[in-house]
Amino acid sequence: MIRIHTPLAALSPLLAIAALASGCPSATPEARDAAPAAPAHAASGEATLFLMADIRGVLRPCGCTVDLQKGGFDRLAPYLAKERERHPDAKLLHAGPIFFEEGHVEADKRAQRVRQAEVAADLVARVGVDVAAATAADAAASDGKLKALGERAHLTLTAANLRLEADPGLSAFEVRTIGGIRIGIFALASPEEAEHLGARGLIEEPTAAATRTVAALADRADVVLLLSGLGLRETKRLVRKVAGIHFAVVGGMGEHPAVSEEAELVGDTRVMQFHREGRFVGRLTLALVAGKTAFVDASQASPAELAELDARVARLEQSLAGWEAKGDGTEREVRSARHHLASLKDERNKLAARKIEVPRDQSSFSFTLTPLNWDLPQDPDLLAIMDAFEQELAKINVANAGTLPAPKEGEAYYVGAAKCFDCHEGPERFWKQDRHHDAWATLERDNKTFDTECVSCHVTGYGKAGGSLVGQVKGRTAVQCEACHGPGSLHVKDSKKASINGHPTAEVCQGCHNKHHSPEFDFAVYKPKLMVPGHGLPPLPDEDDDE
């Protein structure tokens, strides 16, 4: 049952006193670093903020497809270091879950996720996140240890509508003064996450919490920024209802959303969206004139930024030309380079096209969304931390892998591709040239053979009778016949029995080729590529493979 917290102000005086006496946390806790209330003044100044959302404990990109090869703390750190040379007073803010993917963690993945959250906290500390939204997903998945993770990450957690039993002092808002501008920062957790909290805490209805918090910031901040965990649609609905929110960073987004690169004007609020898992970094620069908060959009790149992008394009073109001329680089590496080159050129052209003149007496802002692309430099120290974690997973996940279920009488179990190829020679030749054959090799190359997030889709029969588990993959590595056609023991005994799935549907493929790992997957496009003689098509005359 979802538990929505009602503000104490809405209770009768007697009930409010009883709630306070029983230890119920205050509905309006003071911000830890909030500036004291001060008389209104017409502030002027310039401030830069770096913005991210929904890192969700991901240390580096999945890499399943080239369009996912963005992000990673190893690339984030050098990028921020260079940007901070230009903007030394800038702060990095984060919306949405930062340590865990979601509030519920599957039992077989819990040990890895808990340790991964600790490593993520260490990396967050290294890159320097200043303020992050406290979310119900992180609170639930950390099992009451969110405060400890925040301290480990050296960041300030805040939420206006989240009350946690393990952290009753969680601030309702924060205020940071940058370049003479007081920026009020508050976060909202999504009520949809309340089911995972249980007795660990309560989530107040967001609109009431936002209205109260904006009022509290009126004398404390010149600009108000929301770190929203509500997702895009609910964030837009909220800012239309609640006046006084100047900027909103949207977290809590779904898988691979269609993200706008603009700071969209919704009501009087500029709403900024992000892809999940730390693939992009936003930079918001505010120029406040005489306290005017009707900001003009002045988003455009400086000559230095365009020159840097031109240099990156030139380096990537040179590397790609060298690979193609010498035949160096794997087919995957070449595809990846081409993808990122096209992405980089597109980014450069969009930025160059923006030409805006802002009157000097008007406040303005500039927002850019930068992908952490494959060609950016990597921090070797952070890379070493992530590599050490991958090595640690062998011990963690093998110890927690459990055992495979025993075959049940009369039910099919997995037997491995070698049994299939006793009869199906044509499909064997095709499979050995197909990417599914190399699925396990990609994990070996990337040191992911003990990662529970990866292994199940790169082996056959994961967790099933006769199949595989982490550390138990002999004879079941790669995506073999049974991964699509189902366990084959009964078919091996009697090939005429209708005991094998001869025509796998899209649902079979989408177990792995889902939005998280293969956002562009289209069953109708890919199925014909697997139709060859003896496998979906009649066998050649000199072969007797069954279809």
Span 72-87, mean pLDDT?
A: 95
Place of tokens 């396990």: 440
Q: Which CATH architecture has domain 404-537?
A: Orthogonal Bundle (1.10)
Q: Within 10 A of 497 (CB to CB), how many other CB atoms are there?
A: 11
Least confident of 254-258, 405-409, 522-526: 254-258
Q: Indicate the pLDDT class of residue 425, thresholds 50, 70 and 90.
A: confident
* DSSP class per residue in 37-78: P-------EEEEEEEEE--TT--S---SSGGG----HHHHHH
Which backbone phi and psi does 283 adopt, to 5 degrees? -125, 120
pLDDT score recorded for residue 63: 65
Span 266-282, mean pLDDT?
A: 91
The contacts of residue 14 (CB under 8 Å, 6+ apart) are none
Q: Could you tell me whether strands 156-158 and 532-533 are parallel, antiparallel, or unpaired per DSSP bridges?
A: unpaired
Strand blocks (E) in 325-381: 364-371
pLDDT score recorded for residue 147: 95
Task: Write the pLDDT tens digit of every residue in 111-145.
Answer: 999 999 999 999 999 999 999 999 999 999 999 89
pLDDT score recorded for residue 544: 54
Round to whole Å and give the CA distance between 363 and 546: 72
| Structure tokens, 96 | 């949405």
Q: Indicate the pLDDT class of residue 74, thresholds 50, 70 and 90.
A: very high
Span 420-435, mean pLDDT?
A: 90
Q: Could you tell me whether strands 162-164 and 174-178 are parallel, antiparallel, or unpaired per DSSP bridges?
A: unpaired
Closest CA to 180 of 122, 233, 221: 221
Least confident of 190-194, 314-318, 477-481: 314-318
* pLDDT > 90: percent of the chain: 57
pTM for this prediction: 0.81
Specify the DSSP class assigned to residue 32.
T
Task: Write the pLDDT tens digit of every residue in 443-470.
Answer: 998 889 999 989 999 999 999 999 999 9
Contact 132, 249 (CB under 8 A): no
Span 479-483, mean pLDDT?
A: 95
Span 161-185, mean pLDDT?
A: 94
The contacts of residue 410 (CB under 8 Å, 6+ apart) are none
Span 158-172, mean pLDDT?
A: 92
Task: Write the pLDDT tens digit of every residue in 495-527.
Answer: 766 788 888 999 999 999 987 778 778 889 989
| Structure tokens, 98 | 């930062």
pLDDT score recorded for residue 332: 67
Q: Indicate the pLDDT class of residue 256, thresholds 50, 70 and 90.
A: low
pLDDT score recorded for residue 96: 95
* Residue 174 DSSP SS3: strand
Q: Within 10 A of 199 (CB to CB), how many other CB atoms are there?
A: 8
| Total residues found in the chain within this entry | 547
User: For 119-166, what is the HEC assignment?
Assistant: HHHHHHHHHCCCEEECCHHHHHHCCCCHHHHHHHCCCEEECCCEEECC
Round to whole Å and give the CA distance between 499 and 134: 50
Round to whole Å and give the CA distance between 286 and 284: 7
Q: Does domain 28-37+46-288+370-380 have CATH number 3.30.9.30?
A: no
Contact 221, 244 (CB under 8 A): no
Task: Write the pLDDT tens digit of every residue in 319-375.
Answer: 777 777 777 666 766 777 787 788 778 877 877 777 677 778 899 999 998 889 888
For residue 15, pLDDT over 60 is answered with: no
Contact 93, 51 (CB under 8 A): yes
The helix (run of H) or strand (run of E) holding residue 85 is helix 73-86
- Higher local confidence (pLDDT), 16 or 396: 396
Decide if 28-37+46-288+370-380 and 404-537 have a common fold: no
pLDDT score recorded for residue 473: 95
